Structure formats: C-alpha cells, structure tokens
Amino acid sequence: MAEKKRFVHNTDIGQNFLIDESLADFITERARLSGRDVVLEIGPGDGVLTRALLRTPLKRLYAIEVDERLRERLENIASHDGRCRPIFCDALRFDYESGLGERPSKIVANLPYHITTPLIWTFLERLAPRGMDYMLLMLQLEAAERVVSPACRRERSPLGITAEAMGSAAVLRKVPPAAFHPRPKVMSAVVEIKIEKNADIANDSTWRSLLARSFTQRRKTLCNNWCASCGMTRESALRILSRHSLKPTARAEELPLEKWFELAQEPAFVLKNSDNGERNVLES
C-alpha cells in the first residue's frame, strides 16, 4: 500500500487508474471471454482490470503501457500468470500488424482519455481487417457520445458513423469519477463496439475523405463544406444533394448511414489517398 501512495500519477497521459473492482468484473463478464480469445488491453495502469481479465479463461492478454514506472507492477502480475504479456511502448506508435505474437480478437481497456479517438481509429484500421471483432472500452462520456450518437444528434461524428457502418456501438453504463484514482473531472462510460461487417471500410480513402470533408466545419452545411474542401462549385454540390434527396441546408450530423454509403459512390468524392489534414478532422 505504501508503494502505491508514492506513485505520482501523470494525468497528462491519462493516468486515471480504475480502482472499482466491481466495475472491472462487470466489464470482464460483459466481454464473455473464452479460451480462444486473444485480448488487447491499453493502459493497464495499476492492473485492476488486468487482474480481472486474467480471472477469465482467455487464451492470451497483451497489455500495452507507456509508463516504464509501472513495469515492476505489471511484470509481477505476468509472473503469476503466463497468459499475460506486458508491452511497454506508446500505443499510438505500436506496430499492431507484426508486434504481437497473435492477432487480438477483442480489445478490453480503460483508454487514456487524451488519445481515445485516434486509438479507436487505429484499432478499426489495423486490427478489424485482421479479425478483431469486439471492443469494450472505458471512455470519457463526451467521447462515448461521439461514438454512439445516431443521425440528427450534434454529437454525431466520423468515428461514430464508421463504427455504425462496421456494426454497432452502445453505451452500456455511465461511470462516476469515484471509480478512478485520481478522480477525473468528468463522467465516463463503458462502450461496447461490435464489428460485424465492412471490416476494411476504415481504410477506404474515399470513405475517410468524404467524412472528413463533410465534417470540416460542423456548423456549416454540406454544400458549404464541400465547396471549401473539394473545390466544388455550389451548383455541383447542390446537384449531388438533390440526387440523394437531401435538402440544400443539410448538415453532416443529420445524415443517416445509408446516405453516407450513397454519397461514397459519387465520382466527386472518389480518392486514392487521404491527406493529413483529413485525418486531423477524423480524429478531432
């Protein structure tokens, strides 16, 4: 206990450790892990969720942690259960294609809040096409709402639309600050994401570019965003909207999923590659 008191949490890298063991048990029970599952955990921290995961019959657990100060704690957990493999590196820079001995089937994690959106994009891009079909994530409530919000909600986002295109996403439970140490200043949520179709869509340059250009400025209409980001004339933009039975004043957040699939077939949006500016919009 004395060792834990001496540890100085670095909240700049999202070190709000989960301390609610009943919540950890809820998460692992919901994940329904079997002896075939290879699980990836990001930001294990003090290991509360890690130990709960190891109480299930999972096959292997890869736990990626950026803070070397936690090496002794996590390696101690691994020394008592050979299924656990701690990896000390930056989760955003890790080589997920070749850096793991086995392909993860599920991701169960209390994600660092400051890199939540780019991490989820990374998982959808690199792991979903390789067989990862389930994520159970602790997120800041605001970020969770961006992932699960349906059409006509202001929280609607490119990431949420992509998650819907690949399967489903839902908030299972809201979590108070008291579940963590140190306590964050915001509410959190447990989010379940299922990958059931279109496993490669997050890597589709046309899909990504369409979403990025449509959400460039949220308060502007699709027509104005397309004119500014695609070099499209207003007349061309209005013709596209009309072809898909969309109002001239339509905004990106208003469109249901099927309209995004339709728009992705428009020649004006077909691209071979997306640029860094578009990625910044997707990850915002």
Q: What is the pLDDT of residue 2?
A: 40
Question: Is 271 marked within a binding site?
Answer: no
Q: Average pLDDT in the 115-119 region?
A: 96
Over the stretch 74-104, which tens digit does the pLDDT of each residue have?
999 999 999 999 999 999 999 999 999 899 9
Question: Is 110 marked within a binding site?
Answer: yes
- Res 284 pLDDT > 80: no
Over the stretch 144-169, which tens digit does the pLDDT of each residue have?
999 999 999 999 999 999 999 999 99
Q: What is the pLDDT of residue 151?
A: 94
- Structural domains present in the chain: 2-200 (3.40.50.150), 204-282 (1.10.8.100)
Over the stretch 216-260, which tens digit does the pLDDT of each residue have?
998 899 999 999 998 899 999 999 999 999 999 999 999 999 999
Question: Buried (b) or exposed (e) across 34-63, using 16+ Cβ within 10 A?
Answer: eeebbbbbbbbbbbbbbbbbbebebebbbb
Sorting pLDDT into bands at 50, 70 and 90, what band is 273? low
Residue 97 has phi, psi (to 5 degrees) of: -70, -40
Give the CB-side neighbour count of residue 180, counting CA atoms within 13 A.
26
Average pLDDT across the chain, whole number: 94
Question: Is 18 marked within a binding site?
Answer: yes
Question: Is 16 marked within a binding site?
Answer: yes
For the stretch 210-214, contacts whose Cβ atoms lie closer than 8 Å and that sit 24 or more positions apart, written own/partner, are 210/260, 210/263, 210/264, 210/269, 211/158, 211/161, 211/162, 211/252, 211/260, 211/281, 211/282, 212/158, 212/274, 212/277, 212/278, 212/279, 212/281, 212/282, 213/269, 213/278, 213/281, 214/252, 214/263
Cα separation of 59 and 90, whole Å?
A: 24
Q: What is the pLDDT of residue 276?
A: 57
Question: Is 90 marked within a binding site?
Answer: yes
- Res 27 pLDDT > 60: yes
Percentages of the chain per state (helix, strand, coil), in multiples of 5: 45, 15, 35
pTM of the model: 0.92
